[in-house]
Amino acid sequence: MSQDLALDVIIVGAGVLGCSLALELARRSHRVVVLDSRGGPGYGSTSASSAIIRYHYSHLPESAIAWEAGHRWQDWERHLGVVDPIGMAQFVPSGALVLEGPGYDIELFVSILRELNIDVDELTAAELRERFPGLDPQRIGPATVLEDDHFWAEPTGELAGMYVEGAGHIDDPQLATHNLAHAAEANGAVFRFGCEVVAVLRDGGRVSGVELAGGERVHARVVVNVAGPWSAQLNRLADVLEDFTTTTRPLEHEVVSVPAPADFRLGHGGTCVTDADFATYFRVHAGDTIIVGGLEPPCDELVFLDSPDDAATSISQKTWELQTLRLARRLPGLGIPSTPRGIIGVYDVTEDWIPIYDRTALDGYYVAIGTSGHGFKQAPFVGEIMARLIEQVEGGHDHDREPLVVKGSWTGVDVDLAHFSRLRGVVPQRGMG
């Protein structure tokens, strides 16, 4: 789009998705301002991300986005085009292992990965033991609460799995977000922090900007909701939910940190693991530690919040005991310290745990929301997807009738945006796929 057709765009939210979109729009010569209530980029839910870069999903479009984004994470400086003076986040090639279990179709994952030409190894229990000696591949699931006798039951068999060596994690999600913001500023984007949006403005049937606490009005032809777990509040202010088939709401999520055993550390048998059998995910982390969270099995209570600001400020003793003991059953060499450590994150969750990357019925108002824990890994490409979507719709394309298909410029993958439509058919599910 040429300079004389440049759009004025307000992005609400300076998390990893908002900063990625700011970079892509600024590169296209649009006049961009990013508003965030926090004190800097990535200070909200992004800062609590486990930052795992994995490519396995139950749906091809999500794997395609993650694969395209993964190439950008792995060549981060090239993607950004600038070097952040405070430092650059690093992709850590720790790989990604998936153990079979309820709701996780290994054969489906493998078929999708191979359709995208992603190298994946299918592993037997014997091969798992050889490659990951610190991990016990016995079948101990399904997951239960500690009070259930089954929690300590003897194994009932052995597990198979799959491994993607080219996956990994980002060492510092908040720094990665700062890197994106710095690159966006280098391309002309403006960031304003400590700004609370209290109203979405309209002019006829079109958005015209936002009002901030204190009464200031910021005008633009396009407003994009990238507010993470605060997205539902902003959508209510905009009054755009009437035709949505799925909604978003904030879900509290606790991630525990423990010392890693010597046989499961970075470079020494450690990796990123999705343990579908016992309903945890965990990965090696800096300082010879492991972080572990839950996959929302039926036995675990889901803590939905009225507002993300209501989230707990410290790990609960109950979660600490449950997740560390689940992990100890999978990693026999694990030692469990007495003092709970970890972080509280908040997911922006849809009923089917699929993001919404779309326009809305209010002309000029767009959403990149409901990422349900997927947003960090997908962010470098979602910024480009949303930028293309905004340009096409503002140029007259009827995305509701003819959903865009966006081709990845690094891998050549095609992503059908109908999968992420606010109008899609929704099949509710409980946790991450």
Q: How many whole angstroms separate alpha carbon 292 and alpha carbon 313?
A: 17
Domains of the chain: 3-87+172-247+352-420 (3.50.50.60), 96-165+249-350 (3.30.9.10)
Would you call 252 exposed, middle or buried from its count of C-beta atoms within 10 A (0-12, 13-18, 19+)? middle
**Model pLDDT for residues 358-411, shown as the tens digit of each residue:** 999 999 999 999 998 888 999 999 999 999 999 999 999 999 999 999 999 999
Structure tokens at 339: 């003092």
**pLDDT tens-digit readout, 63-86:** 999 999 999 999 999 999 999 999
Per-residue pLDDT of the chain (433 residues; tens, 9 = 90+): 333 457 899 999 999 999 999 999 999 999 999 999 999 999 999 999 999 999 999 999 999 999 999 999 999 999 999 999 999 999 999 999 999 999 899 999 999 999 999 999 999 999 999 999 999 999 999 999 999 999 999 999 999 999 999 999 999 999 999 999 999 999 999 999 999 999 999 999 999 999 999 999 999 999 999 999 999 999 999 999 999 999 999 999 999 999 999 999 999 999 999 999 999 999 999 889 999 999 999 999 999 999 999 999 999 999 999 999 999 999 999 999 989 999 999 999 999 999 999 999 999 999 999 998 888 999 999 999 999 999 999 999 999 999 999 999 999 999 999 999 999 999 988 765 5
Residue type (1 letter), 195: C
Pairing label, strands 248-259, 206-212: unpaired
Helical pair 173-186 and 16-27, crossing angle rounded to 10 deg: 20
Contact by Cβ (8 Å): 193, 40: yes
Backbone φ/ψ region at 103: left (φ over 0), alpha (ψ -120 to 50), beta: left
pLDDT of residue 5: 57
pTM attached to this predicted model: 0.96
